[in-house]
Amino acid sequence: MSRSGQPGAWDGPFYRVHTEHFEAAFVPNAGEDLEAVDNVDVFVDLPDGSRWSATIITLAQVDLVMKRWATSGEALGGRYFWLSDGLIVRDAGISSMTQVLIGLVENGEFSQVLQRLEG
């Protein structure tokens, strides 16, 4: 058990979570509360040996970024938000994000949502 009560463990900069479906290596900011993570990169290894990635971001964080861009002028004044490998989720936290990833595997949508890494 980790220092946050999560079902994973720290491995250098990665917070690794093992499930029956995959191993996920999240890259939260140092010292970040794992249940408050609202924008994080993740690398997922499936049992078939394939490797996948995504940037997982909460809907609330997208809203904050777009409001900031409305002031700064980025992204046409905050009128759009785009990520090539983005997955928007409702709830913050590594455990919630892990549950979304499990659901994507179980319902067959995983390969449509995450980006496959070559090599």
Question: For the chain, how many structural domains are there in total?
Answer: 1
Radius of gyration of the chain (CA): 15
Write down the pLDDT at residue 2. 37
- Whether the Cβ atoms of residue 30 and residue 40 lie closer than 8 Å to each other: no
Q: What is the pLDDT of residue 90?
A: 98
User: Would you say residue 107 lies in a domain?
Assistant: yes
Please give the pLDDT value at position 1: 31
The reply to whether the predicted model has a pTM over 0.95 is no
**Confidence (pLDDT) at 119:** 72
Closest C-alpha to 18, from 41, 39, 47, 52: 47
Does any domain span residue 90?
Answer: yes
The range of the structural domain enclosing residue 103 comes to: 8-57+86-117
The residues facing 40 across adjacent strands are 56
Which residues of the chain have a pLDDT value below 70?
Answer: 1-6
pLDDT digits (tens, 9 = 90+) for 39-55: 999 999 999 999 999 99
